[in-house]
Amino acid sequence: MQTHEIRRRFLDHFEKLGHTPVPSASLVLDDPNLLFINAGMVQFVPYFLGQRTPPFDRAVSVQKCVRTGDIENVGVTTRHNTFFQMAGNFSFGDYFKREVVGFAWTLLTSPVEEGGYGFDPERIWATAYLDDDEAIQIWKDVAGLPDERIQRRGMADNYWSMGIPGPCGPCSEIYYDRGPEYGRDGGPEADEDRYIEIWNLVFMQNERGQGTGKDDFEILGPLPRKNIDTGMGVERVAFLLQEVDNVYETDLVRPVITEAERLSGRTYGENHEADVRFRVIADHARTAVMLIADGVTPGNDGRGYVLRRLLRRIVRSARLLGATDPSMSRFVTVVRDTMAESYPELVEDFARIESVAVGEERAFLTTLSSGSKLFESAAQSVTAAGGKRIGGSEAFVLHDTYGFPIDLTLEMAAEAGLEVDEDGFRTLMAEQRSRAKADAQARKHAHTDLSVYKEFVDRGPTEFTGFDELDSEATVLALISGGVRVPTAAAGEDVDVILDRTPLYAEAGGQLADIGTITGRGLRVTVRDVQKIAKTVWVHKVTVDEGQLTEGDAVTAHTDPQWRRGATQGHSGTHLVGGALRQILGPNAVQAGSLNKPGYLRFDFTYQGALSESQREDIEAVTNDAVGSDYAVNTFTTGLDEAKEMGAQALFGENYGDEVRVVEIGGPFSLELCGGTHVQHSSQIGPVTILGESSVGSGVRRVEAFVGLDSYKYLAKERALLAGLATSLKVPTDEVPARVENLVERLRVAEKELEATRAAAVLSSAGSYVDAARTVGTVRVVAAPAPAGVAAGDLRTLALDIRGRFGSEPAVVALFGDVDGKVPFVVATTSGARDLGIAAGELVSSFGPSIGGRGGGKADAAQGSGSDAAGIPSAIDAVVARIAEIAS
């Protein structure tokens, strides 16, 4: 049975049982606690917690999931995927244990011709929580399972939660016995490779508190009502029904392995080590495609880092299998072709998906080449010195200078039989920079008890009047302070305010919230920010300036007109820049994010490589042409599918409802799904000045611009600067660029002449160093401080020149500089010295600690840097002592 058919049968089975089908949510959830959706029930959490009233009593879904904790297990076990599909049926205060066991048993064991999966009931086992006698009796009554095929297990195995505070409860897991050829007897407790878990029935009845493990959290109390949450692993059911050995050999994953075989010339199944690499490629390629499709781009933090790690593991695994050519395009194409039946958006968005994945591969191939050489050098130095651990500083240099992820360093070290000082690496990372903060919206509500808002979410959305007016009469529905409702707020207090209607825009879609005031009889309140709860309830964050604000007050909400005017200019300008980008760069320049506020906009988009000066000029020109054309700005509401058919642009990773608002500027010039505020005609945006373009991640670029009056002020400042230069250079303004270029060229020539003079001066001292060389055994040794002020590049030139003057005579040159608190050093050996077993790279380890330094190189030359100039005399002594030891 094919995987797409398994999905279809699950949905059909539960629809017939009265469940409402719910589409899969995006893998990227607006939740600061989760990188990705990791279970089918995540999108239903507000219903389980009682924070929102579900619109249905029963639901069914097949949810996209990613679990990053299993990355190291991918390919090693038979059952771990980073991306998987979780089929689930849910009850919100409707049915409970007995019904859900019956529903699952019927689907699993009914004959294929009757719509079931046709599993042999004699090979099905169940587990239950230690004291859940009720569940055990139900399995006996409903499924007829004998006692010996029902096992009691502890909290770590049979008490489910998301791993963070939230809903939880005891569970009952369903296992399938693959047979004695796959392991020992004894049920799931004995061998979970033979007995494969395929379905987890969670009796969601409690709420858990903080904790770090599966069984060390506190049960806070019961949920408002008992619920059912189940999760059936689609991939696990597929590999059992398709009678293959593991999840990597199913119909949706094996084709990627086949492609890797073609590219590498290797055969899957030839040995365990190669098989793990094949599986890593197949699993990670699928996960990467699904993440990119939901708007994730490679980066150095959070979700972007996970994606980057997956893509880089694919590249390295392919290389280790023997694939020499770029392969990412081939892998993601196979994923598209196999997954498209269930996820047609992969076909629609494939050009962007491929561009992001291939761009990361291209960047990493360069990193892999340079970083691997440095890693091999570090590993050789450690091994030569009899060590087993690569220092944290070497791992940091690999990461910071060469973009080598620590995970890859750890993997390569393990393959070489070495360890890495990971604690030292983490310390250096912490000293260099702090990790990126969570998304701004998530930060604002990360630890808020949202149950206080449930009444207002259930009441229906706040009426937003700001499209038509700047001032609105309103009623104060609630005041909230510290997550608790309060009846009043006095002057000087900060409080959250919920109104029944408001003209103030709540932050969304890249547009910052409006600012303004709320007034009433003897009352004045400053609105600093406006945020949304559950995308429907406007929460005004305010300070009471005068009077007393009371729940039930009749008030007037005012939007700051100057702020709104600037905000609409910025937002409409963002749409025009997006349209210009698509005109100049093509349809693959797709929006990846934005931010706009009065006078300023930034626009992130997918594109490989920096823009040329000509392209930037063209984008600015096309944008301002659109401003000058005075296009009408039209908005209308339509169905999501209809909007897509019109060609309306959507932000990837954003979840849209069935009805969407479309903003049209200049007909086909810009047509986008957008809930923001806009100008009425494009001319009202004013001039748009592109400030610059930069990279914000692999395959993602950013354009920044000023609009309106801020654009004019910027241009006026630039004009004044140009006039000042013209005055200083005593030329007309149109001749300033040529005169500056002439001056720069003259400076460049002067610097070259100065460099040649300095190099000659440095080399002139080479003879004196040779004359002062000491003899250690049969080796001539120059170990000394370098001339004052000599930079690292000149130091190497001088050391090699001194070495050359000794010819083939056994000789070692070790020079130490002192430049701005750093201690650059160079060690060079002649062929005669190397014949005696003296290697430059090995000498570095003898004196490095004296100057707090590190470095490396080959037997003929090595170099590096230290941080303690006071240790130079000790370093010189260490070099001489080591040479004496070897020479003797």
Provide the annotated binding site: 571, 575, 674, 678
DSSP structure string for 717-729? HHHHHHHHHHHHH
In this structure, the chain runs to a length of 888
Question: Phi and psi dihedrals of 696, rounded to 5?
Answer: -125, 15
Terminal Cα-to-Cα distance of the chain (whole angstroms): 75
Q: Which two tokens stand for residue 596?
A: 């706009």
Dihedral sign for Cα atoms in the order 70, 72, 74, 76: negative
State the burial class of residue 608 (Cβ atoms within 10 Å of its Cβ: 0-12, 13-18, 19+).
middle
Provide the strand spans (E) within 335-421. 389-390, 419-420
Query: For residue 827, which amino acid is it?
Result: V
Task: Give the C-alpha separation, 826 to 492, whole Å.
Answer: 65
Which residues neighbour 478 within 8 Å (Cβ) at sequence distance 6 or greater? 455, 456, 485, 497, 498, 551
DSSP structure string for 822-861? BEEEEEEE-HHHHHTT--HHHHHHHHHHHHT-EEEE-SSE
CA angle, 520 as apex, 516 and 526 as ends, to 5°? 25
SS3 546: strand
Task: Give the C-alpha separation, 279 to 72, whole Å.
Answer: 12
Say if residues 823 and 853 touch (Cβ distance below 8 Å).
yes
* C-alpha dihedral (66, 67, 72, 77), degrees to nearest 10: -90
Task: Give the C-alpha separation, 663 to 679, whole Å.
Answer: 11
Task: Give the C-alpha separation, 103 to 143, whole Å.
Answer: 10
Say if residues 152 and 139 touch (Cβ distance below 8 Å).
no
CA 10 to chain centre: 32
Provide the strand spans (E) within 93-238. 124-129, 150-153, 159-161, 166-177, 195-208, 219-233
Q: Widest CA span of the chain, in angstroms?
A: 100
Other CB atoms closer than 10 Å to residue 282's CB: what's the count? 32
SS3 272: helix
State the burial class of residue 389 (Cβ atoms within 10 Å of its Cβ: 0-12, 13-18, 19+).
middle
Instruction: Identify the CA nearest to 851 among candidates 871, 836, 833, 837.
Output: 871
Question: Phi and psi dihedrals of 547, rounded to 5?
Answer: 80, -165
Say if residues 361 and 328 touch (Cβ distance below 8 Å).
yes
Element (H, E) at 21: strand 20-21
Q: Which residues are annotated as part of the binding site for Zn(2+)?
A: 571, 575, 674, 678
According to DSSP, the β-strands at 58-66 and 20-21 are parallel
Task: Give the C-alpha separation, 265 to 319, whole Å.
Answer: 11
SS3 553: coil
Element (H, E) at 662: strand 659-665
Instruction: Identify the CA nearest to 393 among candidates 428, 431, 435, 418.
Output: 428
How far are the Cα atoms of 97, 752, 763, 786, 799 from residue 756, in angstroms, in the given order?
85, 6, 11, 18, 17
Say if residues 120 and 105 touch (Cβ distance below 8 Å).
no
Task: Give the C-alpha separation, 749 to 772, whole Å.
Answer: 36
